[in-house]
Amino acid sequence: MGAGYPSGGFGYEDMGFGGFGGFEDIFSEIFGRSGRRRGVQRGADLEYNLEVDFLHAVKGTEVRIKVERRDGSRETLTVKIPPGIKDGSRVRVAGKGDYGKLPAYLAMGNIFVTASVTEVHPLSIIEAMGTGLPVMGIESVGVSDTVEDGKTGFLATHDQPAFTAKLTRLVLDPVLRTQMSHSARDASIAYDIERTTKLMLSRYENLVNEFRPRKSSWRARLRGFMERFVS
């Protein structure tokens, strides 16, 4: 069972549900070994050959590297070199690899689970919906505006039992997951970059036209002049 997050180094304490480790045991019992085999892989990591002088290798330092993406764009990354690094060592830059692989990683899961209540425009949720993952989230600004409870996923109050109950139902009901998967993918079309770009451009054009100075006729200008003169 993929749950939309990498395996290892993650527990329900990270979701703000401390002391709720038994929740993980539920899914271990349900999915057993097959669940562990199918866990979502970590995002693509980045490898880069870099020379560091002896002093910086001993004391540690930060370096900037430039990487080129498949689309031709360039990005500058800051990499922290730990003190005492040895020749031939590797420093992993987590999650900074090729973005194009993200949909494939998401598609390895069955549900996208998030307990964030601070998202305003949750792009990660939209990406998951576009991949066809039903979302399990908490009622909050942004998340509630994106996920339709009972259709594209489930929304729970900020309460452990409520969150657990809805997530467990989604885990145990493959038919429901399939229905929500189709609905989530259909709903994600509304956030297509071309559509939203055209919509935003249209809004800006309307604002420009609304506040653009309008030329008045000579009669209107003369009337205004006479009114100011008389007053």
DSSP track, 108-171: T-S-EE---S--SS-HHHHHHHHHT--EEEES-TTHHHH--BTTTEEEE-S-HHHHHHHHHHHH
Whether 31 shows a pLDDT value over 90: the answer reads no
Same domain as 109, residue 20: yes
CATH number of residue 137's parent domain: 3.40.50.2000
**Cα distance between residue 13 and residue 202, in whole Å:** 44
Instruction: Compute, in degrees rounded to 10, the torsion defined by CA atoms 11, 15, 18, 19.
Output: -50
Residue 114 covered by a domain: yes
**Cα distance between residue 137 and residue 147, in whole Å:** 8
Same domain as 131, residue 186: yes
Q: What is the mean pLDDT of residues 168-185?
A: 94
Same domain as 67, residue 138: no
> 162 lies in which domain range?
12-43+100-191
Q: Which two tokens stand for residue 56?
A: 């910086």
Q: What is the mean pLDDT of residues 137-156?
A: 94
Helix (H) or strand (E) holding 185: helix 174-188
pLDDT value, residue 4? 44
Q: Which two tokens stand for residue 138?
A: 């908490």
Selection from 106-110, 118-122, 151-155 with the highest mean pLDDT: 151-155
Residue 7 covered by a domain: no
Contact at 8 Å (CB) between 103 and 41?
A: no
Place of tokens 């006479």: 226
Same domain as 159, residue 87: no
Into how many domains does the chain fold? Answer: 3
**Cα distance between residue 186 and residue 129, in whole Å:** 8
Residue 5 covered by a domain: no
Same domain as 139, residue 81: no
Same domain as 75, residue 19: no
Contact at 8 Å (CB) between 171 and 111?
A: yes
Residue 6 covered by a domain: no
Average pLDDT, the chain: 75
Residue 2 covered by a domain: no
Contact at 8 Å (CB) between 7 and 40?
A: yes
Place of tokens 């749950």: 3
Residues with Cβ within 8 Å of 32's Cβ and at least 6 positions away in sequence, in order, are none
Whether 147 shows a pLDDT value over 90: the answer reads yes
Same domain as 120, residue 74: no
Same domain as 115, residue 172: yes
Exposure on the CB side of residue 35, measured as CA atoms within 13 A = 18
Residue 105 covered by a domain: yes
Residue 217 covered by a domain: yes
Same domain as 216, residue 187: no
Same domain as 157, residue 144: yes
Question: Of all residues in the chain, what percent are helix, strand and coil, respectively (each to 5)?
Answer: 50, 15, 40
pLDDT value, residue 91? 67
**Cα distance between residue 178 and residue 199, in whole Å:** 31
Same domain as 133, residue 180: yes
Share of the chain above pLDDT 70, in %: 65
Residue 141 covered by a domain: yes
Same domain as 79, residue 20: no
